[in-house]
Every structure is written in structure tokens, then in C-alpha cells.
Structure 1
Amino acid sequence: MARAIPLERGLPRFSARPRIGTIAKHAVLIAVAVLVAYPFYFMLTSSFKDVLEAARTPPTIFPTELHPENYTDAWNRAPWGRYFVNTIFVSVTVTVLELATACLAAYAFARMRFRGKTILFTVFLATLMIPAEATLIPNYVLMSPSRNGCLGLPCLGWFDSYQVQIVPFIASAFSIFLMRQFFLSIPSELADAARIDGAGHLRFLWSIVLPLSVPALITAGLITFLGSWNAFQWPLIVTSKPDFRPVQVGLSGFRQEAGSSYHLLMAAATFVVAPIVVLFLVAQRYLVQGIARTGIRG
């Protein structure tokens, strides 16, 4: 007669004690999250403090009394409305134009065959290693306010304008690379079916590829919009009038005007950052999808 095996021997055993590695991993993640979130928390809480409490050292964790009027005072001390209009117009225009150029170039690299495609794409990727500061002087000379030319070269004379903040950024090697990787993940059978139906490249791109690429478009658009919204160095150099300056340059000027009124400075910084935070929270699902799918095919 066969010997009976206890039931508990056939069941997997689970340790009630969490693994040390899991605890350490979560502890590191929590520590990093606190380090990243604390500056925003400090900015938000300081924006509701009075002038004395905002300058106190060490800072208080919570405001002893809320002062929402700080936002009204900060808004009335600078032409923030104009700054926001300038920033929104420039950021939206740069995003739309950059996505247009990126989609066309990425489709050519992903779906079309032409001589020198690999070399040209390698050159595009190589430009990612060039720091923005290296192109600062050439762009400055090209956009110089002297319409008669400078350094023997013709200049556009676009200082203090919208186009000087838009034109240099309507093409991005990173956006082209991101969209190309996503286009490569689209099955080639769809292109064959579209070709049989008589669709050309533009028709296939507009009717099939772009609707399937919404996550990548949102990802590239969000990154581009964020970069344009946070632009500081270039607008500071090429603009001198508030009529064309964005919010980041306006915030820098407001810092000098506010002086030791840190509560007003933090209030201004809060409503400058708020639109980007809201935009990210709305689009974060598409952002994750777009980044995840760009690595499906090489």
C-alpha cells in the first residue's frame, strides 16, 4: 500500500517576512521621491506664508496662517498676462511645427528607401551630442538685429519678435528619432494593403500611420512643449521688451523686483509651474505608452 504524503508537502511555502531587497528598493524609491517632491512642497507652502515666515530659517513645515492674497499681489506686480500669452503662443507654435517636420522626416527614414539614408540618419543622431551652447553664437549672429549684416554675413534682424523664438527650434533630431522608432513598430502589412488600395505615401501617413501614433505624438509633443515652456537662455538673449518675453524670463526679472519678498516670488513660481504639472498629469498615460513602444523595433 502506497504511503500517504502529507498535504502540506505539496503546497508551496511562502515566507511571511518581506525580502530585505524589496524593502531596500522601496526605501530608495521613497527617498528619491521625497528629494524630488520637497522643492515643490517648499515652493507651494512658502507661497501661502507672510513675508516674515517665508524668510524664516529654518523654514516652517506648514504655514501658521494662509495668505492666498500673495498670488494676487504677485500677479499685479508684473505683466504676467502678457508673459503667459507669449509663452503659450511660442510653445504651441514650436510644438506643432516640430511635430510636422518630425513626422515627415521620421516617415522617410522608417518607410522610404533612398540612397544615403543610413548615413543621413546617423548624422541626425550625431547632432544630439552637440550641446545647445555650441550653436548659441551662430544662431545669435544669424538673428542679429543688424539688418546690414554682421561678420560679413547676412542677418535676419529678428530680435524682439516671435519668430526668433520659434524658427531655430522647428526641427529636432530627438523628435525625429522618437517618431521613427514608433513608425517602425507599425506592421508593414498595413503599408502593403494601402499600396494595393492606391494610397501614396502622404495618404498612408495621414490616414493610417498618424492615427496609430497618437501616444508617440503626445510624447514628442509634451517633451517639446515642456522644453519651449521652460526656455530661458535663448529668449533672455534675443528679447529685451516685455511684449515678447516668456514667463521664465519674466520670473527672473520678477525675482529682482520682489527682492526679499520670498512669499511673492514663490507664488509667482507656483503659477508658472502649475500649467505644466496639470498638462503632465493629463497626458502621463500617453507619455508612458509612447516611450514604451518606441523601443519595440530598432
Structure 2
Amino acid sequence: MKNRHLAVKIISYVILSAGAVMMVLPFYWMIITAFKTPEQVTQMPPIWWPPSFLLDNFKYVLSSGEFARYIINSLFVTVSSVILTTTVSILTAFAFSRLKFPGRDIIFSLFLGFMMVPFELLAITNYVTIVKLHQIDTYKALIVPYTANILYIFILRNFFLEIPGSLYNAARVDGASNWKFLWRIMVPIAKPAIITIILLNSIDSWNSFLWPMLVTNESRMRTVTVGLTSFVQSAGIRYERLMAAAFIVVIPMVVLFFFARKYIVTAVAQGGIKG
């Protein structure tokens, strides 16, 4: 029995290791290709570790066209979206967890039902609204429509529900307003969930492609993901330059997720205890 258990464990590790290699290999190939010369990219057999790491491809990407502008746009949209979304999520989660008003649970259940609505359907209705408001090619169109996120509200609401009601009642007896109780007591306690919301929203905003493509026609308003498609067309078949551009787009979120992954797992697990 012991030998059988050991064999199953070894097989499991082998399968998981093979899966990990398959997932990491494309990312590794993108990185090393970004540092290669055109000759090294097409060389057969392929070079798995270039003799020298050149930065010429990165210099070309950052100096060509408006790629630097795309990065600035993405940074501005991501930071603005994180601030607005986090604020809206905190206020909404507090209302659904502590304030008592008619139909509160029914309204929240409807909110959860909206999570089943496909993104494409929301994109169509939001696009029509943006066109009617004449907000195409504006930062408002890139930031505002998806400020309210039901998933983030759900996670934060469950964190707030774990805070004892007696603490809220005691604060109210001492004369603390709902606003003061929220920002001085509940927000510090729910810090892991708020950090998770910030991280998830940062990744989602930075990687967003379809919506920015719909609401931006002018090159100066494009985000880095949309700008990458334009760069692909202009760079042609220079794969080393394409991989350098892709590396610049991907690496900030990879680094962010690598250092913050434990907060995401912990907050989602704890936030799903109640509901």
C-alpha cells in the first residue's frame, strides 16, 4: 500500500511538472527571443540561450511610433480605474453588509445574477451609451463604464460580514457615524480584500483589449494592448521586435502578480466563506 501511494505521488508530481513546463516554455521563449538578433531567431536548431543579450529590440520598440504614449495611457487608465473601482466597491459593499433598507438582499441577489451576463452584451450597451454621450476617444470612455465590478463587491461584502455586528453597534453608541466607522474600522480590517481588489483590477485594466479597441479611434488614445496590434502590423515579421514589445506589455503584470499572489488566494478564500 505504501509503495502504491508513493508511485501515485511520483506520477502526480511528474504530470504537474510537465504541465508547469508547458505553461512556462512559451513565456521563456518570448523573453529570450526579445534579446536575439534576426539571424538567431531563425537559426536551426533553435538557440535556447543566446550568447549575448542585446537591448536593441527594446530601444526600437520604445523609440518607434507612439508606443511610449500607449504605455502612459495604460498607466493612467489603470491607476484611475483602480482608485474609482476600489472606492465604489468599498461603499457598495458597506451598504449591502451593514445598512438596512427594504429589498437589500433581493437587490444584491440581482447583482449576483448580473455576473451571468456576457461581457459582449455589456460592451454593446455601454458602447451605444458612450456614442450618444460623444465620449469616443476620451479617458472617460476608457475608465468609467466598468467602474462597478460585482465580483469585487461580493468579495469585499463577505469580508465586511465577518466583522462582528457588536463592533458596529458599539461604534454607533459611541457616536461614530457610518462614514467614520467604515474608514477607521472596517477598511483597515478588510485590508487583505482591498489589496486583492486593487491587484485584480490592475491586471484587468492593464490587459483590457476589446473595450479600449471599441472606444478609441485616434492613435494617441490607444492603450498598450491595442497599440501592440498596431506595432505588429508596422514591425512586420521581425519576431525579435514583436517579442520585445510583448515582453514590455506583459512583464509589469507578471511581476505584480508574482509578489501579490498570496493576497489574492487568501482574500478570495476568506471572502467566499460566507455568502
Q: Does the pair score TM above 0.5?
A: yes
Q: Does the 8 Å contact 1:185/1:296 carry over to 2? A: no
1:33 to 12, 17, 20: 20
One-letter code aligned to 2:201: T
Does residue 1:191 correspond to 2:178, yes or no?
no
> Aligned to 1:125, what secondary structure does the other structure show?
helix
Q: Which residue of 2 aligns with 1:68?
A: 55
Q: Which residue of 2 aligns with 1:6?
A: none
Task: Give 1:1-298 correspondences, 5 Å limit.
Answer: 19-56=6-43, 59-144=46-131, 155-298=132-275
Contiguous gaps of at least 5 residues in structure 1: 1-14, 145-154
Deviation at 1:73, TM superposition (A): 1.6
Deviation at 1:56, TM superposition (A): 4.5
> Aligned to 1:100, what secondary structure does the other structure show?
helix
26-35 or 221-230, which deviates more: 26-35
Partners of 1:70 and 1:104 in 2: how far apart? 45
Q: Does the 8 Å contact 1:185/1:293 carry over to 2? A: no
One-letter code aligned to 2:127: Y
CA pair 208-37 structure 1, distance change in 2 beyond 3 A: same
Deviation at 1:191, TM superposition (A): 1.2
Q: Does the 8 Å contact 1:218/1:286 carry over to 2? A: yes
Deviation at 1:253, TM superposition (A): 0.5
Deviation at 1:131, TM superposition (A): 1.0
Deviation at 1:234, TM superposition (A): 1.3
Partners of 1:193 and 1:281 in 2: how far apart? 40
Partners of 1:212 and 1:202 in 2: how far apart? 15
Partners of 2:123 and 2:4 in 1: how far apart? 57
TM-score for both structures, normalised by structure 2 = 0.93
Q: Does the 8 Å contact 1:107/1:180 carry over to 2? A: yes
Question: Superposition RMSD on alpha carbons, in Å?
Answer: 1.9
TM-score for both structures, normalised by structure 1 = 0.86
Measured against aligned partners, the alpha-carbon deviations of 1:199-226 in whole angstroms (never above 9, x if no partner) come to: 1221111110000111101111111111
CA pair 262-100 structure 1, distance change in 2 beyond 3 A: same
Deviation at 1:120, TM superposition (A): 0.6
One-letter code aligned to 1:207: R
> Aligned to 1:143, what secondary structure does the other structure show?
helix
Q: Does the 8 Å contact 2:158/2:271 carry over to 1? A: yes
* Alignment: residue pair count: 275
Residue identity (%): 40
77-86 or 281-290, which deviates more: 281-290
Contiguous gaps of at least 5 residues in structure 2: none
54-63 or 268-277, which deviates more: 54-63
Larger Rg: 1
283-292 or 100-109, which deviates more: 283-292
Deviation at 1:31, TM superposition (A): 2.0
